[in-house]
Amino acid sequence: MSAVHYVEAICASGLSIFDLLPKESPLYIPTKELENLLDEGLRGFSTAGMPLRTRSKVVKSEVCRVLGYAVPKSFRKCNKPHARFPGQNFDTYVQASDNLQIWNEELKPRRRYVLISVGEAGLVDKVKVVTGAMLAKLDTTGALTQKYQARFNAGTEALELVSGNDTSQLQPLIGSGASISSSQPTDDPEKGSVLPIRTVFEKLSSVVGTSFANAGSDQERNRGAELHRLVCKALAYQSYADDGQFPDVRHQLLEVKLQTSPTIDLGLVEPSSTEPLDLNELPEGTVRHCDVRYAIFGAAANDGQVMLTSLVLTSGEDFFSRFPRFEGKVLNKKIQIPLPRGFFGKAKG
């Protein structure tokens, strides 16, 4: 029985991708045939210039056509415990790189994972279909990466100090910041090195209204680094340094965010958390995550420039009173599976 037979049968059945198939259904396409159909049907399909989510949707639509299904108005999310294509029990991932990421779900051993490789010109290269059981072998650590998110809105004031005072736990460290000129921004805080939140607010206020060159839409991290540099300068550090650790300006217990979109990505740390911050020099528990100060800069990107338009400064403790936490899943988790070299078989030719 040729693979095309399945497509004709699915088409004739009038079923949608969301309709579950009974056990042993003749419409259920075995994994190998599924791979053949999709590889032949999608190869050469162009996704050039599309944003990621758009690309994903357009490719899913094409998958429907290739398999003989009607293209649904939307591809439902949150339809756990089912796959995105429940009837055929598969998910699709369109990959230009080798980092396969699966959010908020375990690998399901019986589910199929349709992995679609796109090349440099945005054309589909190759489609591989594997089971969750096969992918599980590539997941060597089982580690989950997690992040919190919150909603950003700039508010009405260009300059807004949410927390008038630092948390009481921080008071022993607060001082005039005499050591700033001789310290690195990445050094641990010392007694007396940490400026009061009001002083930080005054010093950072001058940064609002300035702008810098936009490194480009695919260089987001560099934009954040430029703001980080401006912040270090405004706080009178001699140098700019960033070691990627939390918080950004560790010596001031200050986290800096650049917002040109409405989602604040908080990463691993929940600002209101009373977990201790890991510091070398001070006893554990001296500083907690909620004692850290957050400088959230609103910005607009246009004409190749990033213009800083607003600043909100808050303690971690007060963070969620100003920026609502995403309350859906609250904490999002993913596994990341590096696809091995040659996974798509391009190397062999």
Q: Which residues bind DNA (CB under 7 A)?
A: 51-57, 60, 74-79, 84, 91, 93-97, 99, 101, 103-104, 118, 140-141, 143-147, 149, 151, 217-225, 242-246, 257-263, 265, 267-268, 301, 324, 326-329, 332, 334, 336, 338
Q: Which is nearer to DNA, 9 or 136 (CB)?
A: 136
- H/E run at residue 50: none
- Between 3 and 207, name the residue whose CB sits nearer to DNA: 207
Q: Which residues contact 155 (CB under 8 A, 6 or more apart)?
A: 310, 312
110/95 Cα distance (integer angstroms): 22
Rounded Cα gap, residues 342 and 347, in angstroms: 5
Amino acid at 178: A
Coil, strand or helix: which one is 42?
Answer: helix
Nearer to DNA, 170 or 339 (CB): 339
> What is the nearest approach in angstroms of DNA to the Cβ of residue 91?
7
Q: Give min distance, CB of 296 to DNA, in A.
A: 10
Q: Which two three-digit tokens encode residue 295?
A: 């400088």
Task: Give SS3 for 66.
Answer: helix
Q: Which helix (H) or strand (E) holds 327?
A: none
The answer to whether 176 touches 192, Cβ cutoff 8 Å, is: yes
Residue 12 CB, nearest distance to DNA (Å)?
26
- The residue (of 141 and 156) whose beta carbon lies closer to DNA is 141
User: At its nearest, how many Å lie between DNA and the CB of residue 156?
Assistant: 14
- Provide the minimum distance between the beta carbon of 209 and DNA in the complex, in angstroms, as a whole number: 19
What's the min distance (Å) between Cβ of 251 and DNA? 15
| Bridge-based pairing state of the strands 305-315 and 331-338 | unpaired
Residue nearer to DNA on the CB measure, 196 or 325: 325
Closest approach, Cβ 137 to DNA, in A, equals 12
Which of helix, strand or coil describes residue 250? helix
Shortest distance, CB of residue 219 to DNA, whole angstroms?
5
**Distance in angstroms (rounded) separating the CA atoms of residues 114 and 107:** 13
Residue closer to DNA (CB basis): 190 or 226:
226
Closest to DNA by CB, 60 vs 251, is 60
- Which letter, b or e, does each residue of 172-210 get, where b requires 16 or more Cβ atoms within 10 Å of its Cβ? ebbeebebbeebbbbbbbeeebbbbbeebbebbeebbee
Nearer to DNA, 6 or 152 (CB): 152
- In 109-137, which positions are buried (b, 16+ CB within 10 angstroms) versus exposed (e)? eebbbbbbbbeeeeebbbbbbbbbeebbe
Residue 105, phi then psi, degrees to nearest 5: -155, 145
